[in-house]
Structure 1
Amino acid sequence: MSFSTVMNGFLSTIGAAVIVYGGFYVLSVTIFDCDVLLGFLEKFGKSPRRLKGKVVFITGASSGIGEHTAYALAKVGAKLVLTARRNLELQRVKQQCIAVSKGLLEDKDVLVIPMDVLDLSSHKMHFQHAVRHFGHVDILINNAGRSQRALWDSTDLAVDKQLFDLNVFSVLNLTRTALEHFNKRRQGHVAVVSSLAGVIGVPFSGTYTGSKHAIHGYFNSLRNEKLTSNIHVTLLCPGPTFTNFLNEAFTEKDGEKFHGSTQPTDKRMTSERCGYLNTVAIVNKVNEAWIGIFPTIPMTYVAVYFPILYNLAVKIIGPNKIFKFRDSKEFQASESPNKID
């Protein structure tokens, strides 16, 4: 058998394998409501049950994704530190965590700490409170944050600063506080609820998108610094999800809220499902998890791996239709009732 025949056979095998692999990925992204790796880890990876007994510190735990991530963790017996500004809501979440744990958690296993993440000077005090209560903290989930609906070119710089203070600088400060503890223990896990807006550029949310891209830069760098340690970093990137985020979202004007709402007919993932997938990503220590219902994930794959095709599609579709897909309505500038074309 000649050398050329052997090489042709080898290359044909490689080509067939590439085609099969590509077909497998295309099929998978249409089935899973998350990236392909996370979808397989959900079925064949480590179970969230392995988080039983772990101490998890969660910011923004009084509602939305933070609340439902707490429930998912409570169901497997993880001990919880619930933080947010609203004490009454935290107490409600605590009682529900104990209830859904079905006997795995007692009152002492869920610690409520009213906390404003913008008060950077209080971070160390609150984190040490959790350490004193449980003896240690295993996982920090940075979830607190706000979204935005605004025109890029008319956004007040004050809004940029406020959103970065909340979505970026408070996260960095609390993480550095946690790292002091993790470094002493030589183990720990930092998870940050980012967004698919941190992976691709989202129209009419310029400051929010910028803050999430900043989070990816900071925490991808941290992960690379900790590669030889037992400290892990996970970026959680949900797409459209049923939460109250639209009501609290920033606009382009200082001091203004968007006061939007979601509708049952919107194409969004439930907070329950998002919270559960967060726990799958954390227990399997993935670097980055994409979470969203079809066609959010295929669109993200195209944007990341086929940018020329994605840019062409965006030009054809237009930014307003992309926004409509995201929020199930066309964007309206806060200073004008006219729709953007």
Structure 2
Amino acid sequence: MVHIRASLAGKVIWVTGASSGIGECIAYCLAESGCKLVLSARRKEELDRVKKTCLESAKCKVREEDILVLPLDLVDFQSHSKKVQEVLEYFYRVDILVNNAGKSQRALWMDIELEVDRFMFEVDVLGPVSLTRALLPHMIERKQGQIAVVSSLAGKSGVSGMRSYCGAKHAVQGYFDSLRIEVASHNIDVNIICPGPVFSNARLHACTGKMGEEAGVQMEGFEKRMTSERCAYLSCVSIANNQYESWISPHPPLFLIYVVQMLPDLSKWLMRKIGAQKIMNLREGR
């Protein structure tokens, strides 16, 4: 297995959703590995905070000019070409794009407005697709590049109470699996990263069934979830080793995905049993 620093040091890596959660921790991990970074998200003040922490924690491995803060609204599709140009004018190249930005969602299937589905699809699918499409001509011209996209184990199987999120992540799998085939001849690689449950603010800011509403539910310390730091580190290991797809999760969710892949009939029975408790939690506002 290739060490992160040995593989990625000196590379220009663009991370979206870098202001919090997994994306923020990916930025710290890459800075420690001596990468040049483009940090994108909507909130500039949070990106400035992440940049400052990168410089403090990475000490001498990255300089002030090695990190570009580039505010980006993923659903402002018309701005993506301009943002790509800004990055290329600053660093002259992008070696790796990490499509991490996205949003979660919690609500029962019948309680979800179609506008929520549309919004989730724009944020979690069309945003990464549009940004990737804007950057690809540069990578094709250079005859090298790497596209990483953070999907989810929810992109491998249905999950109760997450209709829009599951649908979006299944779409991510299809879009980027197709891209991998088409750009192989240009020496461009595609990595799909599928985290399981991770401690973050994702549930707090998750969509509900109504447009513009957030779940506002904090994760509990007793839940069996991976830390954002551990997930980010393993994501960077996956990128450094150019793994076409990685499942990053503690058990039992990781075990369940193996069952989904290898024993589909059993998995449907198990998911119904697990889903019953989740549906009850949602109805009780937990």
Please, what TM-score do these two structures have when normalized by structure 2? Answer: 0.96
Q: In the alignment, is residue 235 of structure 1 matched against residue 192 of structure 2?
A: yes
Deviations 1:268-296 (A, max 9, x none): 10010011001111011111100011212
Q: Distance in 2 between matches of 1:149 and 1:266?
A: 17
Query: Which of these residues, 251, 257, 260, is aligned with residue 303 of structure 1?
Result: 260
Q: Does 1:102 align with 2:102?
A: no
Q: What residue in structure 2 maps to residue 12 of structure 1?
A: none
For 1:115, the equivalent position in structure 2 comes to 72
* Displaced runs of 4 or more, over 6 A: none
Determine whether 1:146 maps to 2:75. no
Map of 1:160 onto structure 2: 117
Q: Secondary structure at the match of 1:114?
A: coil
SS at 2:131 equivalent: helix
Q: Distance in 1 between matches of 2:47 and 2:134?
A: 22
Q: Which amino acid aligns with 1:296?
A: P
What does residue range 185-264 of structure 1 map to in structure 2 within 5 Å? 185-264=142-221
Please state how far the C-alpha of 1:267 moved relative to its aligned partner: 1.2
Question: Offset at 1:338?
Answer: 7.7
Gaps of 5+ in 2: none
Partner of 1:182: 139
Work out the number of aligned pairs and report it. Answer: 285
**Deviation string for 1:175-231 (max 9, x for gaps)?**
101111111111110000110000111111011100000000011011111233310
Which deviations, in whole Å up to 9, do the C-alpha atoms of 1:73-128 show, x marking residues without a partner?
11110110001111111011001111221211000001001111111111111121
Which residue identity lines up with residue 246 of structure 1 in the other structure?
Answer: R
Find the counterpart in structure 2 of residue 331 from structure 1. Answer: 281
Please report the RMSD computed on the Cα atoms of aligned residues, expressed in angstroms.
1.4
* Distance in structure 1 (CA, Å) of the matches to 2:259 and 2:151: 19
| Residues 122-142 of structure 1, C-alpha deviations (whole Å, 9 max, x = no match) | 111112111111110000011
Partners of 2:260 and 2:267 within 8 A in 1: yes
> After superposition, what is the alpha-carbon deviation per residue over 1:216-269, rounded to whole angstroms, capped at 9, x for unaligned?
001101111123331000111001101100111111112211111112222110
Question: For 1:302, what is the secondary structure of its paired residue?
Answer: helix
CA–CA separation in structure 1 for the residues paired with 2:68 and 2:282: 41
Percent of pairs with identical residues = 45
Partner of 1:15 in structure 2? none
TM-score (structure 1 length as normaliser): 0.81
Q: Residues of 1 paired with 2:74 and 2:255: CA distance?
A: 34
Does the residue aligned with 1:332 lie in a helix, a strand or coil?
Answer: helix
SS in 1 for 2:101: coil
Structure 1: where are the runs of 5+ without partners?
A: 1-44, 325-329
d(CA) in 2 for partners of 1:331, 1:177: 41
- Structure 1 residues 318 and 46: alpha-carbon distance in aligned structure 2, compared to 1, 3 A threshold: closer
Any idea what SS the aligned residue of 2:190 has? strand
Shift of 1:332: 2.1
How many Å apart are 1:331 and its aligned residue? 2.6
**CA distance, structure 1, for counterparts of residue 204 and residue 271 of structure 2:** 27
Task: Choose which of 26, 30, 44 in structure 2 pairs with 1:73.
Answer: 30
The whole-number CA distance in structure 2 between the counterparts of 1:192 and 1:125 is 21
Q: What SS is found at the alignment partner of 1:331?
A: helix
Give 1:170's aligned amino acid. Answer: G
Residue 136 in 1 paired to residue 86 in 2?
A: no
Q: Secondary structure at the match of 2:13?
A: strand
Inter-CA distance 318–137: structure 2 relative to 1 (3 Å threshold): closer
Once residues 102 and 123 of structure 2 are traced to their aligned partners in structure 1, the CA distance between those partners, rounded to angstroms, is 6
SS at match of 1:232: strand
